[in-house]
Amino acid sequence: MKLYNTAGGVIIEYQDTKFKADESWDTLVNRDNLEAYLLMKVEHLSTLTDDEEEFWLSDAAILPPIGKQEVWAAGVTYLQSRNARMEESESAASLYDLVYEAERPELFFKATPQRVSGHKGEVYIRKDSSWNVPEPELTLLINSSGEIQGYTIGNDMSSRSIEGENALYLPQAKIYEKCAGLGPCVYVTAAPFEGSSEIKLSIKRGGKEVFGGSITVSQMKRSLTELAGFLFRECDFPNGVFLMTGTCLVPPNDFTLHAGDVVEISIDGIGTLINTIAYHPKHR
């Protein structure tokens, strides 16, 4: 089952049939047993006509799958991510090695809803960074009770030259306008997410792929419930929260994004999130 946030309201997709929900995004998604609730809801909702489906699920109508939720992120959850972070920051290399092995994960605030782009939207690279990369991440939708209710695709944009200069610059490397992509939908299931599911990344420049790769979720060192548990230890999220779970797909050190590049991230069972790279309008 999938949820789409659109300009016309929330669309529920179940068994290739689309339904228009009669509740707002925040009211609908922040509840216990979301999948069971949606299965009950679709029994009483009318289906979309072909024309309605084409209009409300067009690229222009699909919004980021977020309302009032914050976006947080986990770092160094894959071995390759640890190695890449150690390479980018010689002065703090041991820091990343320690956090990979530690009981406590790295968790950090990523974005407010206004700084999130959706499917086919622009995500920004910083003008004052010489090394910028996307980070494709399985992203959890967690309700206010701390329970995982669904999954979406996240693009955790990162300014590696800034973070590499000093680990204390992490907030500047991670948090800025349009620093995150989410979408195109939320995949809702009560079942654990399959570890065999692939995460794929393709970066295209001028229509040609300049970087590509894939991994499986099973390569993650930490469990999804573990990450969610640490996030909720001392934080409350009355509207629920999104948690990006880290990446293992890291472009080589001589690669940096250019304005106009197209980033495509696919995760089995969810779909494909496509974003175009740009600078903040004040720098164009």
- The per-residue pLDDT for range 239-259, each reduced to its tens digit, is 999 999 998 888 999 999 999
Structure tokens at 151: 């999954």
Instruction: Provide the percentage of residues in the chain whose pLDDT is more than 70.
Output: 94
With cut-offs at 50, 70 and 90, classify the pLDDT of residue 103.
Answer: confident
How many alpha carbons lie under 13 Å from residue 95 in its C-beta half-sphere? Answer: 15
pLDDT digits (tens, 9 = 90+) for 120-137: 999 999 999 999 999 999
Q: Which residues pair with 31 in a beta bridge?
A: none
Q: Give mean pLDDT, residues 21-41.
A: 97
Q: Is 15 left (phi over 0), alpha (psi -120 to 50) or beta?
A: left
- Length, in residues, of the chain: 284
- Residue 98 has a pLDDT of 80
Q: Decide if 54 contacts 61 (C-beta within 8 A).
A: no
273: three-class secondary structure by DSSP = strand
Q: Where are the domains of the chain?
A: 2-56, 70-283
Instruction: Reply yes or no on whether the pLDDT at 161 is more than 90.
Output: yes
- Residue 101 has a pLDDT of 83
pLDDT digits (tens, 9 = 90+) for 137-157: 999 999 999 999 999 999 999
Cα separation of 264 and 251, whole Å? 14
- Counts for the chain of helices (H) and strands (E), in that order: 8, 17
Which position has the higher pLDDT, 260 or 101? 260
Q: Decide if 244 contacts 139 (C-beta within 8 A).
A: yes
Q: What is the CATH number assigned to the segment(s) 70-283? A: 3.90.850.10
